[in-house]
Amino acid sequence: MSDVNKGPNDRSTISRRDFVRTAGAFTALAGLETLLPNYARGANSGVISEGVGAVPAVKNFDLVIGETDFVIGKRRAVATTVNGTVPGPLIRLKEGDDVVLRVENQLDEDTSIHWHGLLVPPEMDGVPHVSFDGIKPRTTFEYRFPLKQYGTYWYHSHSGFQEQTGIYGPLIIDPAEPEPYTYDREYVIMLSEWTFENPSKILDNLKKQGNYYNFQRRTVVDFFRDASRDGLGATIRDRLMWGRMLMDPTDISDVTGATYTYLLNGHAPDNNWTGLFRPGERVRLRFINAGAATTFDVRIPSLEMTVVQVSGQNVRPVTVDEFRIGIAETFDVIVQPQLDRAYTIFAEGADRSGYARGTLATRAGMTAPVPPRRKRPVLDMMDMGMQHGTDADSSDADQGSSSSSHAGHEMPGHDMGSMGADATLLRGTESATVASSTIRTGGLRAPGTLPNAMPHDSNKHAPENAAVPELVTSRLHEPGTGLGDDGRRVLVYADLIALERRPEFRAPDREIEIHLTGNMERFMWSIDGVPFEHAVPIQFTYGERIRLTMVNDTMMQHPMHLHGMWMELENGRGELIPRVHTINVKPAERVSLLIDADAPGRWAFHCHVLYHMEVGMFRVVEVSQPISSEQTQ
């Protein structure tokens, strides 16, 4: 295995002994940087052109999961680590190879590794109690699987809160065929967070008060400012409406910079990871959001970015100034800095409570200005599936934007403003209603087209679902709350076009509709109003093609991830439909994806906000076994 950020003239491979780095004893540490693997250390030179994609014939790896002491600032803590580092080591593989990854558990509790986005046998997927039993303390589990794909992915624990406490790392699979685009060097950019709080304590705090970590709530000063701008009556009605819903329009993220330090390649903002370049070079940046609860808005001031890969899959190049990367998503971009200077990689939390940063520079030690954080965004009535632009609109224009439109990305023939003028939200009942997924088998629309605006299916009421939007619609053309109103070109899902047409592209056989449900006040998150412990698996028949339609009934975005199979995002691109392993579903959004049920077994399907998944936004998808020729005789 070669390290992606070794020196330009270093083509050597890393031996298996070198690859294994256990958490040995050491003295006073200076910070997270002491736990960094080679690719994540500062002042890296990247990989030069002729070495890019040149992977040694190393197919066997040893990973050791343990605990490692460290000090950040003047505070000491313990991280759960892979081979003694946070993030974990880079695993670089080759499409078509069969690999073996031995994972030794040195913890006093069970652990696991899930290979996020990889198509592997279910028993190798690494989800305890779904596809295997977990890795017991003081034991080693051997993962074996063929590599059926290429691209940028990552790995992480699927056990408890271990992902939050340090068990995650990048995974790159180089393609068997030449890349469709050229670049001179590359860097992994892994975004994540660190908290000194015990994650279990964080969850307890959220259960007691859903907005426990939100210190950006509206104040009396905001009230008088809004009253001056919108009128006293409209402002009072707005506050009363949000109060009746027991919701907060500033509640963008459950866990915020109040407890998080945001990291780029394991570096806190003041530590400033640096990647080097020569003016005029094309630099590939492989962005991975390994956060447990943070959506990042990424830009590099004075540099445009060309998006070339999403979810590890090649797309037609899209040039943008900024993109939003949901939890567990991966975006590859190419930049071409022309000047002998430094550029700041700025990854701002979507709620604006903090940021991660790094630097691209021509020499070590150079820095560029860090942009000021934008004012926190505010949700509006459209995010609740209500009329946008009425006198009850709480857009807080001077406090940031709530995107309801995105210039240049309007989808033809799709009216995004067809919402009732007197829309209201329905409060959830206290009955123990158990809703099941709606299965549709007739009247299917053409594959690859956008879902229509639909009145809300209000039978999803349960204690776990506090409110229901009146209307849900496709929002794939929108960049998301807080983006798109400052003149920057922002990537949206509607931009994504596969580089190659899908083979044997066909209509779905049936449709399954699920609702993403929640009660923020009580911090209850579920699917169809039913938490995981009371749910039955979603059934797929082997060989069928499913349209999975997700409806977000909540005011928060949910990055939904399906294990074991690709999801084809219906964004109006027909046979050039893009494939994703994770989709960030916006509030009051209706989004559809096509899935070929080609992987028999039990698979996890869940929200990748760790705390949402932990309390119940999780399902098992069961794909039936194929019928053998003997059974048909």
Per DSSP, the residues of 148-191 read: ---EEEEEE--STTTTTTT-EEEEEEE-SSPPSS--SEEEEEEE
pLDDT in tens, 304-335: 999 999 999 999 999 999 999 999 999 999 99
Residue 570 bridge partners (DSSP): none
The DSSP line for 587-618 is TTBEEEEEEE--S-EEEEEEESSHHHHHHT-E
Mean pLDDT of the chain: 81
Name the token pair of 583: 């989709």
CA pseudo-torsion sign 38, 41, 42, 47: positive
The reply to whether domains 16-179 and 381-630 share a CATH topology is yes
* Tokens encoding 55: 């992977």
* Residue 54 pLDDT class (50, 70, 90 cuts): low
C-alpha distances in Å from residue 329, one per residue of 48, 269, 540, 576: 26, 21, 25, 20
379 touches 252 (CB < 8 A): yes
Give the per-residue pLDDT at 70: 76
- Residue-level pLDDT at 470: 76
| Segment among 210-219, 414-423, 485-494, 503-512 with least mean pLDDT | 414-423
45 — pLDDT class (breaks 50, 70, 90): confident
Output the pLDDT for position 378. 77
Written as six digits, the tokens of 441 are: 């088998």
Residue ranges per domain, the chain?
16-179, 381-630
Residues in the chain, overall count: 633
Provide the pLDDT confidence category of residue 523 given band limits of 50, 70 and 90.
Answer: very high
19 or 117, greater pLDDT: 117
Give percent of the chain above pLDDT 90. Answer: 63
The pLDDT value recorded for residue 308 is 98
Q: Which residue has the higher pLDDT, 433 or 351?
A: 351
User: Are 505 and 575 in contact, with CB atoms under 8 Å apart?
Assistant: yes
Pairing assessment for the beta strands 75-82 and 60-72 based on DSSP bridges: antiparallel
3-state secondary structure of 352: coil
Report the C-alpha dihedral over residues 43, 49, 50, 55, rounded to 10 degrees.
60
**pTM of the complete model:** 0.83
User: What pLDDT digit, counting tens, does each position of 125-173 carry?
Assistant: 999 999 999 999 999 999 999 999 999 999 999 999 999 999 999 999 9
Distance of CA 436 to the CA centre of its chain: 26
With CA atoms as reference, report the closest residue to 159 among 195, 197, 199.
Answer: 199
Angle at which helices 220-230 and 232-244 cross, to 10°? 130
Question: What is the second-level CATH architecture of the domain 381-630?
Answer: Sandwich (2.60)
| Architecture of the domain made up of 16-179 | Sandwich (2.60)
**409 compared with 117, residue with greater pLDDT:** 117
